[in-house]
Structure 1
Amino acid sequence: MNNFYIKCLKSEKVESGSIYGQFVIKSLHPGQGITIGNLFRRVLLSDLGGTAITGVRIAGVRDEFSTIPGIREDILEILLNLKGIVLKSKTNDLKFGRLKIKGPAVVTANCIQLPSEVEIVNPNHYIATITTSNVLEIEFKIESGTGYKLAGQTFCKKSQDYLQIDAIFMPVQKVDFKIENIYDNSNDLTERLFLDIWTNGSMSPEEAVSSASRFIINFFSSLLENKLPQETKESENKTLSAPKNPHTNIAIEELHLSVRAYNCLKRAQINTIGDLLKYSPEKLQELKNFGRKSADEVFTTLKNKLGIVLSN
Protein backbone atom coordinates (compact mmCIF):
# COMPACT_ATOMS: atom_id res chain seq x y z
CA MET A 1 0.00 0.00 0.00
CA ASN A 2 2.82 2.38 -0.77
CA ASN A 3 0.58 4.35 -3.14
CA PHE A 4 -2.25 4.74 -0.62
CA TYR A 5 -3.54 8.37 -0.46
CA ILE A 6 -6.67 10.50 -0.14
CA LYS A 7 -7.60 13.39 -2.42
CA CYS A 8 -10.37 16.01 -2.31
CA LEU A 9 -12.24 16.01 -5.63
CA LYS A 10 -14.90 18.61 -4.88
CA SER A 11 -15.85 21.11 -2.17
CA GLU A 12 -18.76 23.52 -2.54
CA LYS A 13 -21.46 25.32 -0.56
CA VAL A 14 -25.03 24.16 -1.06
CA GLU A 15 -28.38 25.45 0.17
CA SER A 16 -28.86 26.73 3.76
CA GLY A 17 -25.13 27.17 4.32
CA SER A 18 -24.32 23.45 4.12
CA ILE A 19 -21.02 22.37 2.56
CA TYR A 20 -20.57 19.33 0.32
CA GLY A 21 -17.26 17.59 -0.30
CA GLN A 22 -16.20 14.53 -2.27
CA PHE A 23 -13.01 12.56 -1.58
CA VAL A 24 -11.32 9.55 -3.12
CA ILE A 25 -8.97 7.06 -1.43
CA LYS A 26 -6.97 5.01 -3.95
CA SER A 27 -4.78 1.89 -4.01
CA LEU A 28 -6.77 -0.10 -1.47
CA HIS A 29 -6.53 -3.88 -1.33
CA PRO A 30 -9.74 -5.81 -2.16
CA GLY A 31 -12.15 -5.65 0.79
CA GLN A 32 -10.53 -2.63 2.43
CA GLY A 33 -12.91 -0.15 0.78
CA ILE A 34 -16.00 -1.34 2.68
CA THR A 35 -14.07 -1.48 5.97
CA ILE A 36 -12.61 2.03 5.71
CA GLY A 37 -15.84 3.47 4.27
CA ASN A 38 -17.95 2.16 7.16
CA LEU A 39 -15.36 3.29 9.73
CA PHE A 40 -15.22 6.82 8.36
CA ARG A 41 -19.00 7.03 8.12
CA ARG A 42 -19.58 5.99 11.74
CA VAL A 43 -16.92 8.32 13.13
CA LEU A 44 -18.00 11.29 11.00
CA LEU A 45 -21.63 10.96 12.09
CA SER A 46 -21.13 10.00 15.74
CA ASP A 47 -17.86 11.23 17.20
CA LEU A 48 -17.21 14.76 15.92
CA GLY A 49 -18.13 17.56 18.31
CA GLY A 50 -20.05 20.76 17.72
CA THR A 51 -21.82 23.66 19.42
CA ALA A 52 -25.56 24.27 19.86
CA ILE A 53 -28.15 26.21 21.84
CA THR A 54 -29.27 23.96 24.72
CA GLY A 55 -31.60 26.28 26.64
CA VAL A 56 -33.35 29.64 26.51
CA ARG A 57 -34.83 32.03 29.02
CA ILE A 58 -37.59 34.22 27.53
CA ALA A 59 -38.80 37.28 29.39
CA GLY A 60 -42.36 36.78 30.67
CA VAL A 61 -42.46 33.07 29.78
CA ARG A 62 -42.56 30.23 32.33
CA ASP A 63 -43.09 27.13 30.16
CA GLU A 64 -43.00 25.95 26.55
CA PHE A 65 -46.80 26.03 26.21
CA SER A 66 -47.04 29.79 26.69
CA THR A 67 -47.66 32.50 24.12
CA ILE A 68 -46.24 36.02 23.91
CA PRO A 69 -48.58 38.90 23.02
CA GLY A 70 -47.65 40.40 19.67
CA ILE A 71 -45.55 37.39 18.57
CA ARG A 72 -46.91 35.38 15.63
CA GLU A 73 -45.36 32.09 16.78
CA ASP A 74 -46.04 30.26 20.04
CA ILE A 75 -43.15 29.19 22.27
CA LEU A 76 -42.95 25.65 20.87
CA GLU A 77 -42.57 27.02 17.35
CA ILE A 78 -39.88 29.47 18.48
CA LEU A 79 -37.94 26.66 20.21
CA LEU A 80 -38.20 24.54 17.07
CA ASN A 81 -36.86 27.43 14.97
CA LEU A 82 -33.96 27.96 17.38
CA LYS A 83 -32.87 24.34 16.85
CA GLY A 84 -32.08 25.24 13.24
CA ILE A 85 -29.44 27.84 14.18
CA VAL A 86 -25.95 26.54 13.33
CA LEU A 87 -23.13 27.75 15.58
CA LYS A 88 -19.36 27.55 15.34
CA SER A 89 -17.22 28.02 18.45
CA LYS A 90 -13.50 28.31 19.11
CA THR A 91 -13.83 26.95 22.69
CA ASN A 92 -15.83 24.24 24.47
CA ASP A 93 -16.74 26.42 27.47
CA LEU A 94 -20.30 27.23 28.50
CA LYS A 95 -21.37 30.49 26.84
CA PHE A 96 -24.39 32.78 26.79
CA GLY A 97 -26.03 34.95 24.13
CA ARG A 98 -28.78 37.55 24.24
CA LEU A 99 -31.46 38.96 22.00
CA LYS A 100 -33.57 42.04 22.66
CA ILE A 101 -35.59 43.55 19.83
CA LYS A 102 -38.65 45.79 19.64
CA GLY A 103 -41.32 45.24 17.03
CA PRO A 104 -42.72 45.28 14.57
CA ALA A 105 -39.85 43.23 13.19
CA VAL A 106 -38.80 39.92 11.67
CA VAL A 107 -36.37 38.25 14.07
CA THR A 108 -33.52 36.24 12.54
CA ALA A 109 -30.39 34.63 13.93
CA ASN A 110 -28.19 37.67 13.21
CA CYS A 111 -30.17 39.60 15.86
CA ILE A 112 -28.52 37.48 18.59
CA GLN A 113 -25.59 39.04 20.46
CA LEU A 114 -22.89 36.42 21.04
CA PRO A 115 -19.38 36.24 22.57
CA SER A 116 -16.57 36.93 20.12
CA GLU A 117 -15.51 33.26 20.02
CA VAL A 118 -18.94 32.13 18.74
CA GLU A 119 -20.08 32.58 15.13
CA ILE A 120 -23.49 32.01 13.54
CA VAL A 121 -23.16 30.07 10.29
CA ASN A 122 -26.69 30.81 9.02
CA PRO A 123 -27.39 34.41 10.17
CA ASN A 124 -30.55 34.73 8.05
CA HIS A 125 -32.25 31.80 9.77
CA TYR A 126 -35.83 32.73 10.78
CA ILE A 127 -36.82 32.78 14.48
CA ALA A 128 -40.08 34.74 14.87
CA THR A 129 -42.16 37.74 13.77
CA ILE A 130 -43.17 40.58 16.11
CA THR A 131 -46.39 42.10 14.79
CA THR A 132 -46.80 44.91 17.38
CA SER A 133 -44.53 47.30 19.29
CA ASN A 134 -43.86 44.65 21.96
CA VAL A 135 -40.32 43.68 22.95
CA LEU A 136 -38.93 40.14 22.56
CA GLU A 137 -36.10 39.40 25.00
CA ILE A 138 -34.31 36.04 25.09
CA GLU A 139 -31.17 34.73 26.81
CA PHE A 140 -29.46 31.71 25.24
CA LYS A 141 -27.36 28.98 26.87
CA ILE A 142 -24.76 27.63 24.43
CA GLU A 143 -22.80 24.41 24.99
CA SER A 144 -20.50 22.02 23.16
CA GLY A 145 -20.86 18.26 22.84
CA THR A 146 -21.17 15.31 20.49
CA GLY A 147 -24.14 13.53 18.99
CA TYR A 148 -27.70 14.34 19.94
CA LYS A 149 -28.85 15.28 23.45
CA LEU A 150 -32.49 15.30 24.52
CA ALA A 151 -33.81 18.30 26.46
CA GLY A 152 -34.05 16.26 29.68
CA GLN A 153 -30.33 15.52 29.68
CA THR A 154 -29.13 18.79 31.21
CA PHE A 155 -25.49 19.90 31.09
CA CYS A 156 -25.56 22.72 33.64
CA LYS A 157 -26.74 22.48 37.26
CA LYS A 158 -28.22 25.98 37.17
CA SER A 159 -30.73 25.22 34.44
CA GLN A 160 -34.03 25.27 36.35
CA ASP A 161 -35.07 28.64 34.95
CA TYR A 162 -34.18 27.76 31.34
CA LEU A 163 -36.42 26.09 28.80
CA GLN A 164 -34.35 23.17 27.58
CA ILE A 165 -33.91 22.47 23.85
CA ASP A 166 -32.98 19.19 22.16
CA ALA A 167 -29.42 19.86 20.96
CA ILE A 168 -27.93 18.59 17.70
CA PHE A 169 -24.14 18.88 18.06
CA MET A 170 -23.28 16.82 14.97
CA PRO A 171 -21.48 18.98 12.36
CA VAL A 172 -21.76 16.25 9.72
CA GLN A 173 -25.28 15.81 8.34
CA LYS A 174 -24.83 12.97 5.86
CA VAL A 175 -22.14 10.58 4.59
CA ASP A 176 -22.29 8.31 1.54
CA PHE A 177 -19.59 6.13 0.03
CA LYS A 178 -19.10 3.85 -2.96
CA ILE A 179 -16.34 1.49 -4.06
CA GLU A 180 -14.91 0.91 -7.53
CA ASN A 181 -12.65 -1.93 -8.65
CA ILE A 182 -9.53 -0.96 -10.62
CA TYR A 183 -7.42 -3.33 -12.73
CA ASP A 184 -3.86 -2.34 -13.70
CA ASN A 185 -1.81 -3.49 -16.69
CA SER A 186 -0.87 -6.69 -14.86
CA ASN A 187 -4.57 -7.39 -14.19
CA ASP A 188 -4.00 -6.92 -10.44
CA LEU A 189 -7.10 -5.73 -8.60
CA THR A 190 -7.21 -2.70 -6.30
CA GLU A 191 -10.09 -0.62 -4.98
CA ARG A 192 -10.80 3.07 -4.73
CA LEU A 193 -13.21 4.52 -2.23
CA PHE A 194 -15.35 7.61 -2.90
CA LEU A 195 -16.59 9.53 0.17
CA ASP A 196 -19.42 12.09 -0.12
CA ILE A 197 -19.78 14.31 2.95
CA TRP A 198 -22.32 17.02 3.79
CA THR A 199 -21.71 19.28 6.82
CA ASN A 200 -23.93 21.95 8.41
CA GLY A 201 -21.34 24.65 7.62
CA SER A 202 -19.75 24.80 11.08
CA MET A 203 -16.80 22.89 9.63
CA SER A 204 -15.72 22.04 6.09
CA PRO A 205 -15.72 18.44 4.79
CA GLU A 206 -11.90 18.64 4.71
CA GLU A 207 -11.82 19.54 8.42
CA ALA A 208 -14.30 16.75 9.14
CA VAL A 209 -12.11 14.15 7.41
CA SER A 210 -9.03 15.40 9.29
CA SER A 211 -10.82 15.30 12.65
CA ALA A 212 -12.21 11.83 11.97
CA SER A 213 -8.76 10.58 10.95
CA ARG A 214 -7.21 11.93 14.17
CA PHE A 215 -9.96 10.29 16.21
CA ILE A 216 -9.36 6.92 14.53
CA ILE A 217 -5.58 7.18 14.95
CA ASN A 218 -5.85 8.13 18.64
CA PHE A 219 -8.33 5.35 19.32
CA PHE A 220 -6.21 2.59 17.79
CA SER A 221 -3.04 4.05 19.33
CA SER A 222 -4.65 3.63 22.74
CA LEU A 223 -5.44 0.00 21.87
CA LEU A 224 -1.82 -0.60 20.91
CA GLU A 225 -0.72 0.86 24.23
CA ASN A 226 -3.40 -1.17 26.04
CA LYS A 227 -4.88 2.04 27.43
CA LEU A 228 -8.50 1.98 26.32
CA PRO A 229 -10.04 5.32 27.43
CA GLN A 230 -12.41 5.05 30.42
CA GLU A 231 -15.18 6.87 28.55
CA THR A 232 -15.01 4.19 25.82
CA LYS A 233 -15.54 1.46 28.43
CA GLU A 234 -18.47 3.35 29.92
CA SER A 235 -19.96 3.79 26.44
CA GLU A 236 -19.61 0.05 25.87
CA ASN A 237 -21.44 -0.73 29.12
CA LYS A 238 -24.25 1.64 28.16
CA THR A 239 -24.50 -0.03 24.75
CA LEU A 240 -24.86 -3.47 26.36
CA SER A 241 -27.69 -2.23 28.55
CA ALA A 242 -29.40 -0.22 25.80
CA PRO A 243 -33.05 -1.02 24.98
CA LYS A 244 -33.71 -3.50 22.20
CA ASN A 245 -35.67 -0.99 20.11
CA PRO A 246 -33.03 1.20 18.42
CA HIS A 247 -35.55 4.00 17.81
CA THR A 248 -36.56 4.52 21.47
CA ASN A 249 -34.48 7.63 22.16
CA ILE A 250 -35.07 9.39 18.83
CA ALA A 251 -36.79 12.76 19.39
CA ILE A 252 -40.14 13.26 17.67
CA GLU A 253 -38.66 16.31 15.90
CA GLU A 254 -36.85 13.87 13.63
CA LEU A 255 -40.22 12.76 12.21
CA HIS A 256 -40.71 16.28 10.72
CA LEU A 257 -44.42 16.32 11.53
CA SER A 258 -46.76 19.21 10.83
CA VAL A 259 -46.88 21.95 13.48
CA ARG A 260 -50.35 20.89 14.68
CA ALA A 261 -49.44 17.23 15.19
CA TYR A 262 -46.07 18.14 16.75
CA ASN A 263 -47.63 20.59 19.24
CA CYS A 264 -50.28 18.08 20.32
CA LEU A 265 -47.65 15.43 21.04
CA LYS A 266 -45.41 17.85 22.98
CA ARG A 267 -48.36 19.02 25.10
CA ALA A 268 -48.96 15.37 26.01
CA GLN A 269 -45.28 15.10 27.09
CA ILE A 270 -44.52 12.79 24.15
CA ASN A 271 -40.92 13.79 23.43
CA THR A 272 -39.37 10.65 21.94
CA ILE A 273 -40.33 7.67 19.78
CA GLY A 274 -40.22 5.59 22.98
CA ASP A 275 -42.90 7.82 24.52
CA LEU A 276 -44.99 7.56 21.34
CA LEU A 277 -44.81 3.75 21.26
CA LYS A 278 -46.54 3.64 24.68
CA TYR A 279 -49.75 4.84 23.00
CA SER A 280 -52.14 2.66 21.04
CA PRO A 281 -53.82 4.20 17.96
CA GLU A 282 -57.06 4.60 19.93
CA LYS A 283 -55.34 6.22 22.93
CA LEU A 284 -53.36 8.52 20.65
CA GLN A 285 -56.54 9.89 19.08
CA GLU A 286 -57.90 10.75 22.54
CA LEU A 287 -55.28 13.51 22.91
CA LYS A 288 -56.68 17.03 22.98
CA ASN A 289 -56.99 18.60 19.49
CA PHE A 290 -55.41 15.47 17.97
CA GLY A 291 -57.81 14.52 15.19
CA ARG A 292 -57.92 11.65 12.74
CA LYS A 293 -55.88 13.58 10.17
CA SER A 294 -53.01 14.13 12.65
CA ALA A 295 -53.19 10.48 13.72
CA ASP A 296 -52.96 9.26 10.12
CA GLU A 297 -49.96 11.55 9.58
CA VAL A 298 -48.15 10.05 12.61
CA PHE A 299 -48.96 6.45 11.62
CA THR A 300 -47.79 6.97 8.04
CA THR A 301 -44.57 8.74 9.07
CA LEU A 302 -43.65 6.04 11.61
CA LYS A 303 -44.20 3.32 9.04
CA ASN A 304 -42.41 5.01 6.11
CA LYS A 305 -39.41 6.43 8.02
CA LEU A 306 -38.80 3.84 10.75
CA GLY A 307 -40.85 0.80 9.72
CA ILE A 308 -42.86 1.01 12.95
CA VAL A 309 -46.55 0.07 13.11
CA LEU A 310 -48.41 1.06 16.29
CA SER A 311 -50.20 -1.93 17.83
CA ASN A 312 -53.62 -1.86 19.44
Structure 2
Amino acid sequence: MCINICQLSGFKFAFGYYGRFKIGPLERTWGVTLGNLLRRVLIGNINGIGVKEIKFFVKGKELLKNEFLTFSAIKEPIFEIMENLRDVILISELENFSNFEESLIVKQKLQGPCQIFAKDLDFSKFLNLRNPNLYIGTIDFKEIVELHLVLEPKKKSLVQKVNFKVEENPGKKISEQIFLEIWTFGEISPRSVLEKALFKILDNLEKLISNF
Protein backbone atom coordinates (compact mmCIF):
# COMPACT_ATOMS: atom_id res chain seq x y z
CA MET A 1 0.00 0.00 0.00
CA CYS A 2 1.43 3.36 -1.08
CA ILE A 3 1.22 6.21 1.47
CA ASN A 4 0.86 9.68 -0.04
CA ILE A 5 1.49 13.14 1.45
CA CYS A 6 -0.51 15.96 -0.09
CA GLN A 7 -0.42 19.63 0.96
CA LEU A 8 -4.02 20.87 1.04
CA SER A 9 -3.38 24.51 1.92
CA GLY A 10 -0.75 26.94 3.16
CA PHE A 11 -0.25 30.64 3.79
CA LYS A 12 1.94 33.18 5.53
CA PHE A 13 0.65 35.02 8.61
CA ALA A 14 2.05 37.75 10.86
CA PHE A 15 4.31 35.47 12.91
CA GLY A 16 5.18 32.65 10.53
CA TYR A 17 3.75 30.06 8.13
CA TYR A 18 0.83 27.64 8.20
CA GLY A 19 0.41 24.40 6.26
CA ARG A 20 -2.24 21.66 6.17
CA PHE A 21 -1.44 18.17 4.88
CA LYS A 22 -3.21 14.89 4.20
CA ILE A 23 -1.27 11.67 4.83
CA GLY A 24 -2.62 8.28 3.80
CA PRO A 25 -3.98 5.78 3.32
CA LEU A 26 -2.79 4.09 6.52
CA GLU A 27 -3.74 0.81 8.14
CA ARG A 28 -6.22 1.11 10.98
CA THR A 29 -4.71 2.42 14.30
CA TRP A 30 -1.63 3.70 12.46
CA GLY A 31 -3.14 7.16 12.09
CA VAL A 32 -2.85 7.96 15.78
CA THR A 33 0.53 6.22 16.06
CA LEU A 34 2.13 8.14 13.19
CA GLY A 35 0.33 11.39 14.05
CA ASN A 36 1.65 11.39 17.61
CA LEU A 37 5.17 10.52 16.43
CA LEU A 38 5.21 13.34 13.86
CA ARG A 39 3.86 15.83 16.37
CA ARG A 40 6.53 14.97 18.96
CA VAL A 41 9.37 15.20 16.43
CA LEU A 42 8.09 18.44 14.89
CA ILE A 43 7.66 20.18 18.25
CA GLY A 44 10.75 18.89 20.03
CA ASN A 45 13.41 17.96 17.50
CA ILE A 46 13.47 20.53 14.67
CA ASN A 47 15.81 23.36 15.66
CA GLY A 48 17.60 26.13 13.79
CA ILE A 49 21.08 27.68 14.00
CA GLY A 50 22.02 31.13 15.24
CA VAL A 51 25.01 33.47 15.41
CA LYS A 52 26.58 33.18 18.87
CA GLU A 53 29.64 35.44 18.55
CA ILE A 54 30.77 38.11 16.08
CA LYS A 55 34.23 39.65 15.57
CA PHE A 56 35.28 42.45 13.21
CA PHE A 57 38.78 42.82 11.73
CA VAL A 58 40.20 45.70 9.69
CA LYS A 59 43.78 45.50 8.35
CA GLY A 60 44.30 42.37 10.43
CA LYS A 61 43.37 44.04 13.72
CA GLU A 62 40.24 43.26 15.69
CA LEU A 63 37.95 46.20 16.34
CA LEU A 64 37.27 47.05 19.96
CA LYS A 65 34.49 44.92 21.40
CA ASN A 66 32.52 47.92 22.63
CA GLU A 67 29.29 47.43 20.67
CA PHE A 68 28.35 51.10 20.84
CA LEU A 69 31.46 52.30 18.97
CA THR A 70 31.41 53.29 15.31
CA PHE A 71 34.12 52.77 12.70
CA SER A 72 34.83 55.21 9.89
CA ALA A 73 34.51 52.63 7.10
CA ILE A 74 31.23 51.19 8.39
CA LYS A 75 28.02 53.21 8.19
CA GLU A 76 26.20 51.60 11.12
CA PRO A 77 27.25 51.33 14.78
CA ILE A 78 28.80 47.95 15.59
CA PHE A 79 25.88 46.91 17.79
CA GLU A 80 23.41 47.46 14.92
CA ILE A 81 25.36 45.18 12.59
CA MET A 82 25.60 42.56 15.32
CA GLU A 83 21.83 42.68 15.81
CA ASN A 84 21.28 42.28 12.07
CA LEU A 85 23.62 39.29 11.97
CA ARG A 86 21.73 37.64 14.80
CA ASP A 87 18.61 37.80 12.63
CA VAL A 88 20.23 35.55 10.01
CA ILE A 89 18.16 32.37 9.69
CA LEU A 90 20.07 29.15 9.00
CA ILE A 91 18.88 25.58 8.74
CA SER A 92 21.34 22.72 9.10
CA GLU A 93 21.52 20.02 6.43
CA LEU A 94 23.23 17.81 9.02
CA GLU A 95 21.35 15.69 11.50
CA ASN A 96 23.78 16.52 14.32
CA PHE A 97 25.23 19.95 13.64
CA SER A 98 27.11 20.12 16.95
CA ASN A 99 29.37 17.22 15.92
CA PHE A 100 30.84 19.16 12.98
CA GLU A 101 33.17 21.69 14.57
CA GLU A 102 34.60 22.87 11.24
CA SER A 103 31.21 24.26 10.22
CA LEU A 104 30.76 26.33 13.39
CA ILE A 105 32.99 29.24 12.30
CA VAL A 106 32.41 31.44 9.24
CA LYS A 107 35.17 33.82 8.10
CA GLN A 108 34.29 36.36 5.42
CA LYS A 109 36.25 39.22 3.82
CA LEU A 110 34.16 42.03 2.33
CA GLN A 111 35.52 44.72 0.03
CA GLY A 112 33.96 48.17 0.27
CA PRO A 113 32.31 50.32 -0.71
CA CYS A 114 29.27 48.04 -0.69
CA GLN A 115 26.06 47.08 1.02
CA ILE A 116 26.20 43.76 2.83
CA PHE A 117 23.34 41.27 2.75
CA ALA A 118 23.10 37.81 4.29
CA LYS A 119 23.60 36.22 0.84
CA ASP A 120 27.05 37.86 0.66
CA LEU A 121 28.28 35.72 3.55
CA ASP A 122 29.77 32.37 2.58
CA PHE A 123 28.15 30.03 5.06
CA SER A 124 29.11 26.37 5.25
CA LYS A 125 27.80 24.09 2.51
CA PHE A 126 25.99 22.24 5.30
CA LEU A 127 23.83 25.29 6.07
CA ASN A 128 20.77 26.54 4.22
CA LEU A 129 20.29 30.34 4.39
CA ARG A 130 16.56 31.13 4.64
CA ASN A 131 16.60 34.95 4.47
CA PRO A 132 19.31 35.84 1.90
CA ASN A 133 18.08 39.41 1.37
CA LEU A 134 18.45 40.38 5.03
CA TYR A 135 20.36 43.68 5.23
CA ILE A 136 23.48 43.53 7.42
CA GLY A 137 25.24 46.87 6.96
CA THR A 138 27.20 49.16 4.62
CA ILE A 139 30.93 49.62 4.10
CA ASP A 140 31.25 53.26 3.03
CA PHE A 141 34.88 53.40 1.92
CA LYS A 142 37.37 51.33 -0.07
CA GLU A 143 38.25 49.14 2.88
CA ILE A 144 38.37 45.40 3.53
CA VAL A 145 36.37 44.33 6.57
CA GLU A 146 36.67 40.74 7.80
CA LEU A 147 33.89 39.12 9.82
CA HIS A 148 34.29 36.06 12.04
CA LEU A 149 30.97 34.45 12.99
CA VAL A 150 30.63 31.62 15.51
CA LEU A 151 27.46 29.60 14.96
CA GLU A 152 25.60 27.35 17.38
CA PRO A 153 22.41 25.30 17.31
CA LYS A 154 19.38 27.12 18.71
CA LYS A 155 17.54 25.50 21.58
CA LYS A 156 14.20 26.89 20.42
CA SER A 157 12.08 24.82 18.05
CA LEU A 158 11.27 26.24 14.61
CA VAL A 159 7.70 24.96 15.00
CA GLN A 160 5.06 26.90 16.93
CA LYS A 161 2.22 24.40 16.97
CA VAL A 162 1.10 21.07 15.51
CA ASN A 163 -2.41 19.60 15.35
CA PHE A 164 -3.69 16.44 13.71
CA LYS A 165 -6.86 14.42 13.40
CA VAL A 166 -7.46 10.93 12.03
CA GLU A 167 -10.37 10.04 9.74
CA GLU A 168 -11.43 6.88 7.96
CA ASN A 169 -10.45 6.88 4.31
CA PRO A 170 -13.70 7.26 2.28
CA GLY A 171 -14.62 4.02 0.51
CA LYS A 172 -11.99 1.97 2.33
CA LYS A 173 -13.03 1.11 5.86
CA ILE A 174 -9.81 -0.77 6.55
CA SER A 175 -7.64 2.33 6.18
CA GLU A 176 -7.22 5.78 7.74
CA GLN A 177 -5.80 9.17 6.81
CA ILE A 178 -4.19 11.94 8.86
CA PHE A 179 -4.99 15.62 8.49
CA LEU A 180 -1.91 17.39 9.85
CA GLU A 181 -1.64 21.14 10.58
CA ILE A 182 1.74 22.83 11.14
CA TRP A 183 2.48 26.40 12.25
CA THR A 184 6.13 27.54 12.01
CA PHE A 185 7.90 30.69 13.21
CA GLY A 186 8.82 31.70 9.65
CA GLU A 187 12.38 30.36 9.49
CA ILE A 188 11.17 27.38 7.47
CA SER A 189 8.06 26.38 5.54
CA PRO A 190 5.69 23.73 6.96
CA ARG A 191 6.45 21.45 4.00
CA SER A 192 10.22 21.67 4.58
CA VAL A 193 9.91 21.11 8.31
CA LEU A 194 7.67 18.07 7.71
CA GLU A 195 10.27 16.68 5.31
CA LYS A 196 13.02 17.15 7.93
CA ALA A 197 10.87 15.41 10.55
CA LEU A 198 10.23 12.41 8.28
CA PHE A 199 13.94 12.05 7.47
CA LYS A 200 14.80 12.32 11.17
CA ILE A 201 12.35 9.52 12.00
CA LEU A 202 13.64 7.38 9.12
CA ASP A 203 17.27 7.93 10.11
CA ASN A 204 16.64 6.82 13.69
CA LEU A 205 14.64 3.77 12.60
CA GLU A 206 17.45 2.73 10.23
CA LYS A 207 19.97 3.02 13.06
CA LEU A 208 17.73 0.92 15.29
CA ILE A 209 17.27 -1.79 12.66
CA SER A 210 20.98 -1.91 11.81
CA ASN A 211 21.80 -2.60 15.47
CA PHE A 212 19.03 -5.15 16.04
> Fold conserved (TM > 0.5)?
yes
Return closer, same or farther for 1:189/1:111 CA change in 2, 3 Å cut-off. Answer: closer
1:231-270 to 2 correspondences below 5 Å: none
The residue that corresponds to 1:113 in the other structure is: 122
Return closer, same or farther for 1:213/1:8 CA change in 2, 3 Å cut-off. Answer: farther
Given residue 210 of structure 1, which amino acid in structure 2 is its aligned partner? L
The answer on 1:147 being equivalent to 2:155 is yes
The residue that corresponds to 1:194 in the other structure is: 180
Equivalent residue in structure 2 for 1:213, among 196, 201, 209: 201
Equivalent residue in structure 1 for 2:5, among 7, 16, 22: 7
Q: CA deviation at 1:56?
A: 1.5
Given residue 9 of structure 1, which amino acid in structure 2 is its aligned partner? Q
Q: Distance in 2 between matches of 1:183 and 1:125?
A: 44
The residue that corresponds to 1:46 in the other structure is: 44
RMSD: 4.4
Structure 2 unmatched runs, 5+: 58-62
- Give deviations 1:127-167, integer Å, cap 9, x for gaps: 11234445432111234x3524xxxxxxxxxxxxxxxxxxx
Given residue 141 of structure 1, which amino acid in structure 2 is its aligned partner? V
- Give deviations 1:195-239, integer Å, cap 9, x for gaps: 3354734992342231353477589x79xx9xxxxxxxxxxxxxx
The answer to which structure, 1 or 2, has the higher relative contact order (CA under 8 A, 6+ apart) is 2
Q: SS at 1:204's partner residue? A: helix
Given residue 101 of structure 1, which amino acid in structure 2 is its aligned partner? L
Q: Is the 8 A contact 1:71 1:128 kept in 2?
A: yes
Q: Is the 8 A contact 1:197 1:205 kept in 2?
A: no
Structure 1 unmatched runs, 5+: 149-169, 226-312
- Give deviations 1:222-274, integer Å, cap 9, x for gaps: 9xx9xxxxxxxxxxxxxxxxxxxxxxxxxxxxxxxxxxxxxxxxxxxxxxxxx
The answer on 1:82 being equivalent to 2:80 is no
Q: SS at 2:84's partner residue? A: helix
Q: CA deviation at 1:122?
A: 3.0
Q: Distance in 2 between matches of 1:10 and 1:106?
A: 40
From the two aligned structures, give the one with the greater strand fraction.
Answer: 2
Q: Is the 8 A contact 1:46 1:147 kept in 2?
A: no
The residue that corresponds to 1:286 in the other structure is: none
Q: Is the 8 A contact 1:98 1:139 kept in 2?
A: yes
The residue that corresponds to 1:262 in the other structure is: none
Q: Distance in 2 between matches of 1:216 and 1:207?
A: 14
Q: SS at 2:197's partner residue? A: helix
Q: SS at 1:124's partner residue? A: coil
The residue that corresponds to 1:152 in the other structure is: none
Name the count of aligned residue pairs: 194
Return closer, same or farther for 1:210/1:183 CA change in 2, 3 Å cut-off. Answer: closer
Identity %: 22
Q: Distance in 2 between matches of 1:213 and 1:182?
A: 24
Q: CA deviation at 1:7?
A: 1.7
From the two aligned structures, give the one with the greater helix fraction.
Answer: 1
Equivalent residue in structure 2 for 1:62, among 57, 61, 65: 65
Q: Distance in 1 between matches of 2:10 and 2:69?
A: 41
Q: Distance in 2 between matches of 1:19 and 1:215?
A: 26
